[in-house]
């Protein structure tokens, strides 16, 4: 698909949003491309690829409370936690392994381990409504998870394998 | 189903196998019952419930190399790692949380965490052929995983939450 054939109307992310230049957003785009086996996103700009991660209050309200997550939302959840694992790896130079465990109903657990250490352990619920109020809120959440993970590694460096 | 209506021919486990009296086997039976939402096993003796965990070489040979695990084998895998988590919990009086992450093709990872510590991390493959050569070999594997887990907790008690 050429870029001209693609609907590039952006509603929730500005094409020049400075957050798109951060390590986090660059890693997110890389992870989305890694999960894109059929090259669907090849011609998509970063803002378009990350837009489905942003759900305004109104958009969230339109999604039923109960629902099964589809393959697209699952790959977004994976991309988000994979990106956090990649950023942890970058900061501490140790392998960070993400594991996402979900039931069909969209409940579960996202874990990131470094060596013998659990550096992130998050309960997931309502995964079919996965999304953040804005791109910068998504980055805030990632920054928080990253800094907690690095703190845990700092506290137990030997268990992390340092 | 009454016991008399059930085929109680046992091929791989003797009804009086002393392993059936161990904490491990008792916990395995408890876990199998916990996953048995419809009460199918209510009238089954322990040996009959644990028999599907034992696959002789000949039985294993009959299972195709490549295959998708069905719901029964998945619940056996869960019961096995749940039992190990329960035994860890019993030994150290800290909550042990099992997480099993499998693709549809039967590859994946089984994790047990205690506090911030990964006390077991096992790569799973060919889950459709999950089974042990004998009941006592299954107990040996469980004992090994349990003792490694307790060793890790002993090494990093603070990360485990002690």
- State the pLDDT at residue A6: 59
Is residue B161 a contact partner of residue B99, using CB atoms and an 8 Å limit? no
- B111 contacts in A (CB within 8 Å)? 99, 111, 113
- State the pLDDT at residue A17: 92
Q: CB of A94 within 8 Å of any CB in chain B?
A: no
The tens digit of pLDDT for each residue in B54-74 reads 999 899 999 988 888 888 999
Q: CB of B153 within 8 Å of any CB in chain A?
A: no
Q: Environment class of residue A94 by beta-carbon count within 10 Å: exposed (0-12), middle (13-18) or buried (19+)?
A: middle
CA distance A153 to A114: 8
- State the pLDDT at residue A162: 86
Query: Is A118 in contact with B113 (Cβ distance < 8 A)?
Result: yes
How far off is chain B from A159, nearest CA to CA, in Å? 7
- Beta strand segments in A3-142, E: 96-102, 108-114, 117-124
Query: Is B152 in contact with A113 (Cβ distance < 8 A)?
Result: no
- Residues (pLDDT < 50) of chain B are 1-4
Query: Is A109 in contact with B99 (Cβ distance < 8 A)?
Result: yes
How far off is chain B from A118, nearest CA to CA, in Å? 5
> What is the distance in angstroms between the CA of the first residue and the CA of the last residue of chain B?
46
Query: Is A116 in contact with B156 (Cβ distance < 8 A)?
Result: yes
Q: CB of B138 within 8 Å of any CB in chain A?
A: no
The tens digit of pLDDT for each residue in B16-35 reads 899 999 999 999 999 999 98
The tens digit of pLDDT for each residue in A82-132 reads 999 999 999 999 999 999 988 777 789 999 999 999 999 999 999 999 999
- State the pLDDT at residue A119: 98
CA-angle at B60, arms to B121 and B133, nearest 5°: 65
Query: Is B113 in contact with A101 (Cβ distance < 8 A)?
Result: no
- Beta strand segments in chain A, E: 96-102, 108-114, 117-124
- State the pLDDT at residue B42: 87
The tens digit of pLDDT for each residue in A37-91 reads 888 888 899 999 999 999 998 999 999 888 888 889 999 999 999 999 999 999 9
């Amino acid at each position: 698909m050429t870029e001209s054939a693609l609907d590039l109307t952006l509603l929730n992310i500005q094409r020049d949003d400075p957050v798109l230049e951060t390590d986090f957003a660059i890693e997110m785009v890389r992870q989305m491309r890694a999960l894109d086996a059929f090259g669907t996103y090849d011609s998509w700009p970063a803002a378009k690829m990350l837009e489905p991660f942003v759900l305004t209050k109104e958009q969230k309200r339109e999604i039923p409370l109960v629902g099964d997550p589809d393959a697209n939302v699952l790959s977004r959840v994976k991309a988000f936690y994979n990106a956090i694992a990649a950023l942890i790896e970058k900061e501490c130079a140790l392998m960070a392994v993400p594991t996402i465990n979900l039931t069909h109903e969209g409940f579960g657990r996202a874990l990131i381990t470094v060596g013998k250490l659990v550096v992130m352990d998050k309960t997931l619920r309502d995964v079919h409504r996965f999304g953040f109020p804005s791109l910068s809120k998504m980055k805030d959440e990632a920054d928080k998870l990253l800094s907690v993970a690095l703190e845990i590694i700092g506290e137990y460096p030997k268990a992390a394998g340092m």
